Amino acid sequence: MYFSEKITLRTEVITVDEYGFTSTENVDVEVWADKESAKRTEFYSAHSAGIEVSAVFTVNDYSDQKILIHDSKEYDIIRSYRKGEGEYELTCSDRRV
């Protein structure tokens, strides 16, 4: 694995001020990743559950972020899987706004 794609992993932090108003702050971390296509079984299993798998990324640094950005496109991380020591496979779907 070459980890040749630069991606951004995003966490949305929601805070409530003293007046009860909420605000959302994005905490971004840039990491290197490998992008893969979804495997056939993974694609069809997700599709039968009503989930559209768009891409799969492998990264070394992951801390339970929920959003992934690659080439200005936002994805929801729908599944994270620890492949080996320090490697995580992130299954993503197109982000619905």
The tokens for 75 are: 């994805």
**32 touches 59 (CB < 8 A):** yes
User: pLDDT tens-digit profile of 25-83?
Assistant: 999 999 999 998 877 667 667 666 677 888 999 999 999 999 999 999 999 999 999 98
The tokens for 15 are: 């805070």
pTM above 0.95, yes or no: no
Other CB atoms within a 10 A radius of the CB of residue 16 amount to 9
Domains in the chain, CATH or no CATH each? 5-94 (2.40.10.270)
The pLDDT assigned to 50 comes to 72
**41 touches 12 (CB < 8 A):** no
Q: % helix / strand / coil in the chain, to the nearest 5?
A: 10, 60, 35
